[in-house]
Amino acid sequence: MMLIRSLALLLVAALAAMPALAQDRRVPASAAELRLSYAAIVQRVQPAVVNVYAAKMVQNRNPLMDDPIFRRFFGVPGQQPEQMQRSLGSGVMVDPSGLVVTNVHVIEGADQVKVSLSDKREFEAEIVLKDSRSDLAVLRLKDSHEKFPTLDLANSDELMVGDVVLAIGNPFGVGQTVTHGIISALARTQVGITDYQFFIQTDAAINPGNSGGALVDMTGRLAGINTAIYSRSGGSQGIGFAIPANMVRVVVASAKSGGKAVKRPWLGARLQAVTPEIAESLGLRLPSGALVASVLPNSPAARAGLKSSDLIVAVDGQTIEDPNAFDYRFATHPLGGTSQIDVQRGGKPVKLTIPLETAPDIGRNEIALTSRSPFQGAKVANISPAVADELHLDTDTEGVVVTDLGDDTTAANVGFQKGDIILAVNNQKIAKTSDLEKATRESARLWRITLMRGGQQINVTLGG
């Protein structure tokens, strides 16, 4: 018994001698410490977490109207009545002037957005910036003339698995709610939610309505924006995902600078994951890193000396497990200056210096197609390096790509998807947007369309 007590005293003494940061992560030394409350942290951060309400008008469609026989015998009625479709989520105040960060999917397609503060006051909000690639949006409160409480952003690279975190949001619309848990995993890259697959996983209860809310560390700083759950029932099952604060910082900085889109560094190379088979062929102990499949001429990667078959293993000292991890690390660097990349080339280490600059966007020529055709309501663009980077297309891809689809448009209803590359229409090759615009102005009873989706060529025939 004396030996156990002596060991306990030594443990407490050792913990007391550790640096302040480590003390924040120490194991509780007594049962009394386990009874400590999170109330002080919650009281400090809760005023900066808001509820976000989005609404849009949708036409109340009768599915029978899609049946030509029904339309023939019963006629087509006038304008169908519209109804208000509402969604709810959460947000975080990140600037005293009234800037709120939330998820794009919370406010997507909204005609009206309202923000409710923790003191029950409501403000209309305007959408300042939407970044679909990260699923982050920034709102600004309208007609506000005061300074609002905000959350400081943590350095999410300093988070560790096992750290205690709090999730604050508006689950199921019941009102602002706090749950607690730990960080279950970091750098989750196989989630399939956004372009940047690099999430904080937590077991703090997150439910529908928590999207856009705060994941807070024990210093009261914003560790991440809660954005998704893994669930078979629709409720929390202890697996939630948050966008790291370092990505939030990039999007908020773009909004504060007046940008309408987030500009990020461009590598100019196509990367692929290292499979166990590839690892064995390269003589690697573990299937880890990002393998360079191709390099675009005159790109930052080419000018830095990056070559096909190089294996990227680190960016500025941060280990790279796969291409998704590289994309995140590279995308969270500020433009200007350089980044140091460690690669393995023929089994030997090589250090490269990559300039941090945006992809050229010359010749995008993005247009909206309005003529009566299967493409009506779609936005298309020529594939510039910037477009290829945004849509994760191969660096050498050419042609015309669908960049956006309006809600309930002909193009969306027909089944076109963002990222579809249009190759030909009615046997006419489509090389640029003007070719497609011209093709859609020609009336046709049948539309024969060839497109590329996910690397596969698809031929479809549609009625006029």
Active site members:
105, 135, 211
Instruction: Check: CB of residue 307 under 8 Å from CB of residue 291.
Output: no
Instruction: Check: CB of residue 423 under 8 Å from CB of residue 399.
Output: yes
Pairwise CA distance, residues 183 & 215, whole Å: 10
Shortest CA distance to 118 belongs to which of 39, 176, 169, 157? 176
C-alpha dist (Å) from residue 173 to 33, 89, 177, 210:
33, 8, 10, 9
CB atoms within 10 A of CB 239: 17
Instruction: Check: CB of residue 363 under 8 Å from CB of residue 433.
Output: no
Residue 246 phi/psi, 5-degree rounding, is -70, -30
Output the six-digit token pair for 450.
């060839």
Output the six-digit token pair for 418.
């963002």
Shortest CA distance to 332 belongs to which of 251, 224, 217? 251
* CB contact set of 257 (below 8 Å; sequence gap of 6+): none
